[in-house]
Amino acid sequence: MRRFLEGKAALVTAGSRNLGAAIAEALAERGAAVAVNYLSSESGARAVVDRLDEFGSGHAAVRGDAGTPDGMRSLVAAAGRALGDRPIQVLVNNHGPFSMTPFAEMPPEEFDRVWDANVKSAYVAVGEVVPAMRAAGWGRIVNVSAGSAYLRNHSIYTLAKAALVTFTESLAVELGPEITVNAVAPGQIAESAEDIAEFDPSFVERAVEATPIGRLVTRGEVAAIVAELCGPLFDAVSGVTIPIDGGWHLPRF
């Protein structure tokens, strides 16, 4: 594995489980020292750090609430301290709870919770890391959108994940040339199939049927692309959202 992130400090929000943990591992494989963010499961985060240590030392589990502005500010500062008082040069905004409660039935509190955790937290995190990235002359930001951005029946989650696409494009214009900003939009991930089944029991079956490659994507596949977006192969790419869904989002007639 090319270690093109050697010497770089990275923060993955919600990095202690599922896709976030896979992204943390992919960044560590490529040489980064990774701050693995968690809110409630310290043991889970430390288990991830133990796996990352196989690729080199210097990683840390960092507690913080990525769903609130104050929590995010504190988290970024704590991550830098935990990684040896180093500025964050790779930021992956992975935090983002799901909801598909219909808008007409949704309490304002639920709207705010999902919007703030997916969109506002990313905005706050960017504000915290950009000064140091600019000072260093290099930075990489990857926002995790979702295949739901292309749907119109996932309510506030669709709205929030679609907003991240526009946010990514706007940031790319604002932050170049030192900083590139890209996003990924994973379709339904195979390892999380049971989670979506709680909301929509037939979703996975329909998704596989509508996917040209005939299967769901994996966490490892998504994580590898996130990591590569921070590497030299993508130095000339900014403002792009990559759907990682086997062609599932493509319109058909």
Token pair, residue 138, equals 């290099």
Burial 164-186 (b: 16+ CB within 10 A, else e): bbebbbebbeebeeebbbbbbbb
The catalytic residue among 38, 123, 150, 157 is 157
Q: Which of 53, 60, 58 is nearest to 29 (CA)?
A: 53
- Annotated catalytic, 150? no
129: Cβ contacts below 8 Å, ≥ 6 apart:
11, 76, 87, 88, 89, 91, 139, 141
DSSP 196-235: HHTT-TTHHHHHHHT-TTSS-B-HHHHHHHHHHTTSGGGT
Angle, alpha carbons 103-158-142 (nearest 5°) = 145
Active site residue ranges:
157
